[in-house]
Structure 1
Amino acid sequence: MTEASLAFSDLDARARAMAGDVPADRISVRDHVVDVEIGAFQAERGVTQRLSFSVVVEVSDHGGAETDDVDDILSYDTITEAIMAELEAERLNLLETLAERIAQRLLLSPQPQRVFVRIEKLDRGPGKLGVEIVRDRASGDADVEAQDAPAPILAFLSSTALTAEALPTFLDQFEEDGVPTILVVDADLPLMQDSWAARNIVLLQADQAAWQLASIDPRVVPVGTRTELDWGLKNEQLSVWAPSKMVLDAVDAPISINLVDLTLWFAQQVQACQILWVGCDAPDTPGISSHSVMLEDLS
């Protein structure tokens, strides 16, 4: 089989061609179609499109054929669950990222030795637009577990708190205590109708408020991704959340223009240990410690 024909063949043919002298057993799921919101273009936000997943997993020797026990094999559900787990984790821009994460998740199981992943967009052109990757245990860090970020304190800074003379002293206290902290800044937004456009405007204004705080105090670093947030928590950085990317990329973020609602959702995402509401009354927050810090307490 030529390289050109192999490139356009199904994954099983590619797996057979790469098998070597001792072909491995293969488990596969083909043409698994899911409606997904994905894509880097603005036209792909707020809508779903069909993705087709084909996955072939080469597995190590097992006794499933002899025992007829499902626990002795790699289940097909393991493949489909890996796909759905990565789709539900966050909204992604690139098929390449999604394919990589599915492959690495599958390689966390003991049986897979090599994984072939093909993902195709079915609705973005006259044909199928897709990517295909091959990963094995030597090509990734599947056996290395990421260090968990510590549970932070969230401090919600009201618009009045931002103008308080004692705000630098308040931030000093976090620095001295060395407690992992993420700041959330109220953008003091006017009430607007609930719509996709209004939600985007609110999030962009909240991003601007985060950068405004950074201009007030250079110790504060605006961060917009979970990776940046985790790094900041592990490295004693005083971070302020710029929410637009994380909210727009999430599959379970509230459809709300209320930054308090988004803060409560964010607290769950980062497993915050408590929330401080600075310069405003604390809302009801079941399941998490929540306290008001009045402006007079900042002096």
Structure 2
Amino acid sequence: MTKDIRLAFAHPSERSEAMDDASDPCDRISLRDHVVEVEIGAFQVERGATQRVRFNVVVELRPIPAPLDDDVDRVLSYDTITDAIATELAAERLNLLETLAERIAQRLLSEPQPTRVFVRIEKLDRGPGALGVEIVRSRVADLTPVSDVVASGLQPTLLFLSNEAIAAAELPRWLDKLEATGAPVILCVGPADGDAPQSKSRQAQRRIDLLATEQNAWVLAGRDKRCVVTNTRTEIEWAMKHGQISVWAPSKIVLDAVDGPSADPSDAVALSLWFAEELDAGRIVVIGAKVPGEVTRPVQVLSCDLASTAL
């Protein structure tokens, strides 16, 4: 067995040692055989069920120049590794181990001390052995710490549009006014008018209702070229940072949410209010529709006739 093959199947700590630069030695901390029950996977059979996933992580660190003085606050805590795993698992349901490994590595590298991270993740219940991925990531000079929409500090305006509002001639002027405020803008809609297909399966009906909403999102995007349909948190955060108006296509975020909305997807306003909470929206406006009886933050409700003057 060659050295490369042996290292490919060795623990990440051995790979880290083999890649070490003798002229610039580093310190290491590691987490071994950390097993978590989690829902993850791209296949339908993996939805709605948890499976055991094992994590092995090695973090290479800059040596601390001053004496430690046995002070726990001067070293990178092992909890930093387990917290990075828990945070990324709680953020959203993921399809790929590769995505999870990348996010864990980025989160760890956003800390001051780490210089390189080795992450191995394995599914323990998907076959006769362990199925997994391993990645190595290094700090770069312009590394941006990992963040999600809420952590970015951007508080968008979330605007729900009824079907009457989508078709309104004043829509471009409403968007002009919202753009002028300087806040990121995210548009939400419900399904188009008309009877949607019906299924006896609750899970199937949920997807049908979400897809009906997404079809209407594309209708709205066709009304104004500034509106771009987005369906992932990454796309939405990029749009928020670059002044692009997003039209939310809800399927992926709703289906991948760890703590999903209690609202039925057919209740488009309630679903949009849940999304506003997820984004920590600074302003919520509903045009041409009623809001549920209980809301957790202020909502501005406008008729189509009054929107032009009240926005």
The normalised TM-score by structure 2 is 0.83
The AA in structure 1 aligned to 2:302 is V
Instruction: Please give the alpha-carbon distance, in whole angstroms, between the structure 1 residues aligned to 2:47 and 2:141.
Output: 32
Instruction: Please give the alpha-carbon distance, in whole angstroms, between the structure 1 residues aligned to 2:146 and 2:44.
Output: 35
CA displacement at 1:73 relative to structure 2 = 1.8
Partner of 1:160: 164
Indicate the SS of the match to 1:26: strand
List aligned pairs for 1:1-12, cutoff 5 A: 2-12=3-13
Contact in 2 for aligned 1:253/1:262 (Cα 8 Å): no
Q: Number of aligned pairs?
A: 299
Partner of 1:265: 274
Among 194, 201, 212, the alignment partner of 2:208 is 201
2:293 maps to 1:295: no
Contact in 1 for aligned 2:156/2:185 (Cα 8 Å): yes
2:184 maps to 1:180: yes
CA deviations on 1:241-271 (whole Å, 9 max, x unpaired) are: 1111122222122143232232112112222
Partner of 1:73: 75
CA displacement at 1:128 relative to structure 2 = 0.9
Contact in 2 for aligned 1:104/1:140 (Cα 8 Å): no
Among 272, 283, 296, the alignment partner of 1:274 is 283
Distance 1:44 1:180, change over 3 A: same
2:42 maps to 1:33: no
The AA in structure 2 aligned to 1:118 is R
2:246 maps to 1:246: no
Higher mean Cα deviation, 57-66 or 29-38? 57-66
Q: Where does the alignment leave 5 or more consecutive residues of structure 2 unmatched?
A: none
CA displacement at 1:31 relative to structure 2 = 0.8
Higher mean Cα deviation, 85-94 or 153-162? 153-162
Contact in 2 for aligned 1:34/1:52 (Cα 8 Å): yes
CA deviations on 1:193-234 (whole Å, 9 max, x unpaired) are: 893222222211111110122234444321112222233333
Instruction: Please give the alpha-carbon distance, in whole angstroms, between the structure 2 residues aligned to 1:166 and 1:66.
Output: 65
Identity %: 53
Indicate the SS of the match to 1:20: coil
Contact in 2 for aligned 1:149/1:230 (Cα 8 Å): no
CA displacement at 1:84 relative to structure 2 = 0.7
Partner of 2:63: 61
Among 137, 140, 153, the alignment partner of 1:135 is 137
Instruction: Please give the alpha-carbon distance, in whole angstroms, between the structure 2 residues aligned to 1:179 and 1:107.
Output: 30
Partner of 1:16: 17
Instruction: Please give the alpha-carbon distance, in whole angstroms, between the structure 1 residues aligned to 2:50 and 2:141.
Output: 32
CA displacement at 1:184 relative to structure 2 = 0.7
Indicate the SS of the match to 2:76: coil
The AA in structure 1 aligned to 2:60 is E
CA displacement at 1:272 relative to structure 2 = 1.4
CA displacement at 1:77 relative to structure 2 = 0.7
List aligned pairs for 1:87-126, cutoff 5 A: 87-126=89-128
Instruction: Please give the alpha-carbon distance, in whole angstroms, between the structure 1 residues aligned to 2:182 and 2:74.
Output: 48
Contact in 2 for aligned 1:273/1:288 (Cα 8 Å): no
Contact in 1 for aligned 2:29/2:59 (Cα 8 Å): yes
Higher mean Cα deviation, 154-163 or 85-94? 154-163
CA deviations on 1:37-86 (whole Å, 9 max, x unpaired) are: 22222222222221100011122223898522211222111110011111
Partner of 1:228: 235
The normalised TM-score by structure 1 is 0.86
The AA in structure 2 aligned to 1:272 is A
Aligned-CA RMSD value: 3.0
Among 150, 156, 160, the alignment partner of 2:154 is 150
Instruction: Please give the alpha-carbon distance, in whole angstroms, between the structure 2 residues aligned to 1:104 and 1:295.
Output: 45
Instruction: Please give the alpha-carbon distance, in whole angstroms, between the structure 2 residues aligned to 1:298 and 1:138.
Output: 47
The AA in structure 2 aligned to 1:79 is I
Higher mean Cα deviation, 2-11 or 58-67? 58-67
Distance 1:284 1:67, change over 3 A: farther
